[in-house]
Amino acid sequence: MFRRLSAVCAVLACFVLLLTSCSPGAAGHTAPTFTGFSCKADIAYRDMTVKGRLSRVSAGTLTLEIEEPATLSGMKLSWDGEQVRVNMLGLSVELDPADIPASALGSALVDTLDAALRVQDQAVFSDGVMKLDGECAAGSYTVTSDPATGALLTVAVPDLELRASFADFTAET
């Protein structure tokens, strides 16, 4: 009797081990990186396209240094969750995000990345990337990342017509 019980327990333990090793994000894949990074960003928001350097030190923050379009080149926008700071040609102004319609782009990225950060362990390996779908104040979103490094690849918020792709992703401390 004892041997049978031991054998059944051993089989159940092996079964549980097999199930947990197949969970999302397992098998050596790295979870997406949502804070402490800098990267090149190509962002399409409704009828606007912006390219530049995006950095994020912590949750609730985002900085975008615009390179394109040429008319905005050199402008630096920083979101801290409550204010948007605009720096250009040595001048700095703090504004309420509601005062600048284009700032909705940064606010939506902050909301999306913050929401995804809270559920990053739910990312699943699919089609060669880590994929995370969810909902936030900005709407439904999909985030993809490199399974080997955790580097963000894309963010999409269809409800806002927002799509961003990332390259040259580097971790910052």
CB 84 within 8 A of CB 103: yes
Per-residue pLDDT of the chain (173 residues; tens, 9 = 90+): 434 433 333 333 333 333 333 334 445 788 899 999 999 999 999 988 999 999 999 999 999 999 999 998 999 999 887 788 889 888 888 877 666 655 678 888 999 999 999 999 899 999 999 999 999 988 899 999 999 999 999 999 999 999 999 999 998 86
Q: How long is the chain?
A: 173
Q: Rounded to two decimals, what is the model's pTM?
A: 0.78
Placement of tokens 């913050």 in the chain: 114
DSSP one-letter code for 102: G
Query: What pLDDT score does 70 carry?
Result: 93
Query: What pLDDT score does 103 carry?
Result: 64
Query: What pLDDT score does 65 carry?
Result: 95
Distance CA 84, CA 98 (A): 10
Q: Give helix then strand counts, H and E, for the chain.
A: 2, 11
Q: Which of 16, 62, 19, 36 is nearest to 120 (CA)?
A: 36
CA angle 70, 76, 79 (to 5 degrees): 135
Sheet order of strands, 84-88 included: 91-95, 84-88, 76-79, 62-68, 48-56, 37-45, 162-171, 152-157, 139-145, 129-136, 124-126
Query: What pLDDT score does 74 carry?
Result: 92
Query: What pLDDT score does 26 carry?
Result: 43
